A and B are shown apart, each in its own frame.
Chain A
């Protein structure tokens, strides 16, 4: 007998906010995040016969949403490709490092005081805002790697990114995210 059962009539009241949060951490625009949550419920209803009850209905809904989000990244393939090209160009005009590849005067990290390094709700919003300032490709790669814990091989395959591009992208995303936090929270 199945361990779990579906209660679709309760989904919106019970799970919609949780799913919206999950989507908004991964997708910049609220409207798109809302649409993806809606698509998740619709997909779940249409495929409910395939549910075997081996995982909880919440986890099942999250799996569907995760797959919808990945599809959204893939649909943006053209944008991703043009931004990959921009990222390559960006490498040549680097603000963080000088011509010898060492930290530039303005790009070097400043010391952060421990009293600012708190995980408050306000900080979480600043962190998410800073993440949202990354371009689409950096945001997608960064989210998959550091929030979803996917490995580089899977990310490169799904987003059609070369391994060398990937490491540079992630590193640049970290540089930008750290700089944004320093400017908007730590000072």
Chain B
């Protein structure tokens, strides 16, 4: 059986590429038996979905916006 580290990397590749039949079998077999890897995959899938929605609601301060205008506006001609 492949180790957890190898399973993690194969799982990563599987998200983007088609694995060989042997690689797919090795990964699936590992996942059936490894509770920690199943848990890791579930958590990572959730993180990936969350990352796509990441929003920080950061803003320029009024002072920073003023500085930005001072530097950018003269270029407008």
Q: Tally inter-chain residue pairs, CB-CB below 8 A.
A: 113
Q: Are B58 and A121 in contact (CB under 8 A)?
A: no
Interface membership of chain A positions 117-129, coded 1 if the CB is closer than 8 angstroms to chain B and 0 otherwise = 1010101110110
Which residues on the A side are within 8 Å of B68 (C-beta)? 12, 16, 34, 37-38, 41
Residue A58 at the chain B interface, CB threshold 8 Å: no
Q: Are A112 and B56 in contact (CB under 8 A)?
A: no
Q: Are A103 and B69 in contact (CB under 8 A)?
A: no
* Chain A, Cβ-Cβ closest to B60: A16
**Complex-state Cα separation, A30 to B4, whole angstroms:** 37
User: How many residues in B have their beta carbons less than 8 Å from beta carbons of A?
Assistant: 38
**Complex-state Cα separation, A181 to B44, whole angstroms:** 11
Given A34-B64, A103-B36, A181-B47, residue A128 in contact with residue B56 (CB < 8 A): yes
> Which of B4, B5, B43, B54 makes the CB contact (< 8 A) with A112?
B43
* Chain B, Cβ-Cβ closest to A152: B16
